[in-house]
Amino acid sequence: MVSEKKDIRALSKEELRSFFVSIGDKAFRGTQVYEWLWSKGSHSFDEMTNLSKETREHLNENFVINHIKVDQIQKSNDGTIKNAVKLFDGLIVESVLIPTKKRTTACVSSQVGCSLDCSFCATARLKRMRNLNPDEIYDQVVTIDKESRLYHDKPLSNIVFMGMGEPLMNYKNVLESIEKITSDEGLGMSPKRIVVSTSGVPKMIKKLADDEVKFNLAVSLHSAIQETREQIMPFAKNFTLPDLRESLEYWYEKTNRKITYEYIVWKDINDKWEDIEALVTFCKYVPCKVNIIEYNPIDEGHFQQASSEIIDDYIEALEHYRIPVTVRRSRGKDIDAACGQLANKQ
Ligand code: SAH
């Protein structure tokens, strides 16, 4: 049952300080509680040992700590770990730990389900049930950091917002979670190690630039031809390529930071020479790099990855124009933890 009490982590530090003043206590108690909640990741008020018993009881009467709970852990034979995490209202999202030799990366979710309708993505079939709160996003990162230390002997090094959901459709909470992840009172991670991946919401990309965010941006492009893009990402009818281009130019002008385009090459969809040409042209607008991602089949059929010859043609053309390109191998496929496969199968 969902508690009627207020989630204490919805309060800012200032609000917590005012709360203590309002009950006749000292403001610095608010700071202490804030540290317990965020730097130390407390799950209960009883852990807050520098508070008096009465204060802890008072907090228990008035608030809850809606911490996420890991419901199920799956381990892939390539070291990838997928967590199904249960939220306070019983809904479930997934997050993934991806280890490589050099780094360990957390792939986190920003929404339960997704508001967009990419036809090649398993999460899109769930529809959007709700946005995650900042603390629910933060908790996924803390959980994966712990797993990284436990199973790989090192702290988490990178975070990608490439799990379930469209981060820019949950703008405020995603930014608040990043604020916590990067602040010294939270995890103190560098924003340079964070990538927010969007399917391309022009208005919000401009807002990111205006808000002077310091993390990196990736855009799931998949086609630089409007008609093709609309076929596979129907929402693109409203978020057109010219608008996307304009927003990315704005982003670069303000931030001076390169954009990464994520791109899957499918048979019979974007495997023609004109598709390659369109991508090369699009890449000339703003300094960027291209990340060609392996397609992870989500059902029998409709979408199939193009042949490696065609992917090589893409690479050759991009390299010819000195556009950096990398190919990303999928990880965790055997446990449905790879890109686009997160869909709460259990
Ligand atoms: N909504 C955001 C972030 C979540 S998806 C976005 O669209 O960027 C993260 C990445 O996985 C995106 O690049 C998306 O296009 C890609 N993806 C979705 N389904 C996939 C699949 N079946 N195989 C491989 N990548 C997929």
Tokens 């596979």 locate to 232
CB 175 within 8 A of CB 115: no
**Res 128: pLDDT:** 85
- pLDDT (0 to 100) of residue 299: 77
- pLDDT of 182: 96
Fold topology of 6-64? DNA polymerase; domain 1 (1.10.150)
Q: Which residue's alpha carbon is at the smallest distance from atom 12 of ligand 1? A: 220
The atom number, within ligand 1, closest to the CA of 114 reads: 1
Same fold, 6-64 and 69-335: no
Q: Is the CB of 8 under 6 A from ligand 1?
A: no
State CA 111 to chain mean position distance: 9
Tell me the two tokens of residue 47.
């852990």
Q: Could you confirm whether 309 is annotated as catalytic?
A: no
By most ligand atoms within 8 Å of CB, the mutation choice from 111, 140, 220, 291 for ligand 1 is 220
CA of 168 to the centre of ligand 1 (A): 14
Residue 324 CB partners (closer than 8 Å, separation 6+): 289, 290, 318
Taken in order 76, 81, 82, 84, is the CA torsion positive or negative? positive
The answer to whether 110 and 137 have CB atoms below 8 angstroms apart is yes
Q: Indicate which residue of 14, 54, 94, 300 is catalytic.
A: 94
Distance 123 CA to ligand 1 centre (A): 9
- List the structure tokens of 192: 């340079």
Domain at 69-335: CATH architecture: Alpha-Beta Barrel (3.20)
Close Cβ partners of 310 (under 8 Å, ≥ 6 residues apart): 265, 271
Q: For residue 137, what pLDDT is reported?
A: 97
Confidence of residue 23 (pLDDT cuts 50, 70, 90): very high
pLDDT exceeds 70 at position 240: yes
Residue 84 Ramachandran class (φ > 0 left, ψ -120 to 50 alpha, else beta): beta
Pocket test for ligand 1, best of 93, 118, 140, 160 (most atoms within 8 A of CB): 118
Please state the domain extents for the chain. 6-64, 69-335
pLDDT at 1 over 70: no
Least confident of 254-263, 303-312, 334-343: 334-343
Q: How many CB atoms lie within 10 A of CB 106?
A: 27
CA distances from 17 to 14, 32, 57, 181 (A): 5, 9, 17, 21
pLDDT digit string, tens, across residues 146-176: 999 999 999 999 999 999 999 999 999 999 9
Distance CA 78, CA 343 (A): 20
Q: Measuring CA to CA, which residue among 140, 135, 177 is closest to residue 156?
A: 140
Backbone angles phi, psi at 220, to 5 degrees: -80, 95
Q: In whole numbers, what is the pLDDT of the chain averaged over residues?
A: 94
Q: How far apart are the first and last CA of the chain?
A: 21
Q: What percent of the chain has pLDDT over 70?
A: 98
pLDDT of residue 177: 97
* 3-state secondary structure (DSSP) of residue 130: strand
pLDDT bracket for residue 346 (50, 70, 90): low
pLDDT the model gives residue 11 = 93
Residues shown for the chain: 346
Strand partners, 70: 85
Pick from 168, 110, 104: nearest CA to 139 = 110
* pLDDT tens readout for residues 70-91: 999 999 999 999 999 999 999 9
> Which residues 6+ apart lie within 8 Å of 9 measured at CB?
37, 38, 65, 66, 133, 134, 135
